[in-house]
A = this chain, B = another copy of it.
Amino acid sequence: MMILRSSPASPFGRKVRIAAALLGLADRVSMVPADSSKADDPLRKDNPLGKIPVLVTEEGKPIYDSRVILEYLDSFAGGGKIFPTDARRIEVLTLQALADGILDASILRVYEVRMREETKRDPSWVAYQADKVARALGKLEADPPALSDGIPDAGRITLACALGYQDLRFEGKWRNDHPKLVAWLDAFARAVPSFEETRFKG
């Protein structure tokens, strides 16, 4: 059994759980709750950065971050399923990087509140991160990635998690002015049951 050290609300953990489900590996991966703020959490032994998620393979090897875990699971499932091996590969990887970047900027906004006293918060830093997200969503709204039949790739899985995180942490305000992306996420959710199954309901 592989062990996934993650937390139910982590969007990067969600990427891995959706990928595992899509690849038919859900029964091979057991999620163990991890707390990145706790010094004695085994997470830090497996990943000194103390970041969620980490996958511990059946051979006991820790693998991170989420991009690397997705590659590992894809290869475990035979390869070429959520990462194209042809010319489309780089396009998918760039989409994944864009969606990961939306998540990174969004998480910095959340941390600004969670990890700092009120007097140390900086509205201009928050705006700087929010602008990154707004520009990225604007670009995606102008031309959402096509959803074809078959297993969605790593870029599309990550985009779905990035939009889901906007719903979780920013009251879904993105929905007001991104109708094409809303329709895109609806279509993704219809095609991928594990998207709803992994939604954090805390």
A residues neighboring B (CB under 8 Å): 44, 47-51, 61-65, 67-68, 71-72, 75, 89-91, 93-94, 96-98, 101-102, 105, 115-117, 119-122, 124-125, 128, 131-132, 135-136, 138-139
| Interface majority SS (helix, strand, loop, mixed), chain A | helix
Q: Is the CB of A90 within 8 A of B116?
A: no
Q: A48-B138, A49-B105, A116-B122 are in contact. List 6 more A-B contacts (CB 8 A).
A: A47-B98, A48-B139, A62-B94, A64-B97, A65-B97, A68-B93
Q: Is the CB of A64 within 8 A of B120?
A: no
Q: 9 shortest A-B CB distances, which residue pairs?
A: A48-B135, A49-B101, A120-B122, A68-B93, A48-B136, A48-B139, A65-B97, A49-B132, A116-B122
Q: What copy number does this chain have within its complex? A: 2
- Which of chain B's residues have a CB closer than 8 A to the CB of A89? 71, 75
